C-alpha cells in the first residue's frame, strides 16, 4: 500500500471512531512513536539547557556558614554587588547557605557540608566563606584562607586593620584570615546573625580580585 493511501485509510478509520476509541487507538498503535518523540524532545532540551548553562560564568562563589537565619536576604550580596561590579546577565554570583558543627558532635549532614566545601576549595570554585568564629578557626587551621594583609591592596588593608580577625594556621601561626562584618549595613540587610560574622577569602581562589571587590562593596 502506498504511503498516501495508507494515510487516507488511517484518517477514515479515525474519523469513524468516537473520541474515546480514537485516543485508545492512537495510544495502542503509536505509543512507541509517541514515546520516541517525547524522549527525543527531552534529550534535545537537556542538551540545549547544558549548552545554555555553559554560556554563563561564575563571577563570585560565596558560602554562608552558621548564620542560622532561615530568612537571609541575599539581594545585597547578589543583585547589589552585581550592580556595583558592573556584571552582565551571564556573570553569576553563586550563594549557598548552610550550617555545620566541627567538633565531636558533627553529624552526617555536617560531614556532607564539610566535604562539599572541601571539594569546592580543591577545585578552586569557592571564593568566600562568611562564617562564625568556629567555622573560621576550623578552615584557618587547614590553611583554607588567604592572609588578608597580603592579598588585599595596601590602602584597603589599612582601612580594615581594626576589623581583621586573626586565627592560627596549620603551623600555629596567626594571620589576618578574616574580616569582622559586625555592625555593617551589609550584615544587617543580609540578616547575618552569627555572634561575629567573619568573611574570609579562600586561599588559591581563581577570583581573588572579585572577592576583593566584594570586600570593597561591603565597606564602600
Tell me the pLDDT tens digit for each residue of 148-198.
999 999 999 999 999 999 999 999 999 999 999 999 999 999 999 888 999
Residue 1 reports pLDDT greater than 50: no
Tens of pLDDT, residues 48-70:
444 444 556 889 999 999 988 87
pLDDT reported for residue 21: 61
Residue 102, pLDDT score:
80
Domains and CATH numbers, the chain: 3-52 (no CATH), 57-218 (3.40.190.10)
Query: 88-124 pLDDT, tens per residue?
Result: 988 889 998 988 888 777 788 888 888 898 888 888 8
Whole-number Cα distances in Å, 46 to 31, 32, 34, 52, 66: 22, 21, 18, 10, 35
Question: How does pLDDT run across 4-29, given as a tens digit for each residue?
Answer: 455 456 566 656 666 666 565 555 66
Q: Which of 103, 127, 108, 128 is nearest to 205 (CA)?
A: 127
The answer to whether residues 218 and 148 touch, using CB atoms and an 8 Å cutoff, is: no
Mean per-residue pLDDT, 76-89: 89
Residue 49: predicted pLDDT: 43
Amino acid at each position: 500500500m502506498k504511503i498516501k493511501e495508507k494515510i487516507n485509510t488511517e484518517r477514515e478509520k479515525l474519523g469513524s471512531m468516537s473520541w474515546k476509541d480514537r485516543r485508545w487507538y492512537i495510544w495502542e498503535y503509536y505509543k512507541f512513536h509517541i514515546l520516541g518523540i517525547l524522549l527525543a524532545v527531552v534529550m534535545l532540551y537537556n542538551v540545549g539547557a547544558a549548552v545554555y548553562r555553559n554560556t554563563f560564568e561564575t563571577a563570585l562563589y560565596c558560602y554562608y556558614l552558621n548564620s542560622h537565619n532561615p530568612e537571609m536576604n541575599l539581594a545585597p550580596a547578589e543583585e547589589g554587588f552585581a550592580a556595583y561590579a558592573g556584571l552582565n546577565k551571564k556573570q553569576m554570583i553563586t550563594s549557598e547557605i548552610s550550617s555545620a558543627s566541627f567538633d565531636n558532635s558533627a553529624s552526617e549532614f555536617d560531614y556532607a557540608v564539610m566535604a562539599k566545601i572541601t571539594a569546592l576549595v580543591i577545585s578552586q570554585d569557592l571564593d568566600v566563606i562568611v562564617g562564625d568564629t568556629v567555622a573560621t578557626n576550623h578552615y584557618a587551621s587547614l590553611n583554607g584562607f588567604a592572609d588578608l594583609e597580603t592579598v588585599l591592596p595596601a590602602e584597603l588593608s589599612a582601612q580594615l586593620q581594626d576589623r581583621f580577625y586573626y586565627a592560627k594556621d596549620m603551623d600555629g601561626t596567626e594571620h589576618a584570615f578574616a574580616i569582622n562584618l559586625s555592625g555593617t549595613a551589609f550584615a544587617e540587610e543580609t540578616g547575618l546573625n552569627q555572634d561575629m560574622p567573619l568573611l574570609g577569602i579562600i586561599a588559591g581562589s581563581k577570583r581573588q580580585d572579585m572577592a576583593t571587590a566584594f570586600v570593597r562593596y561591603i565597606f564602600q
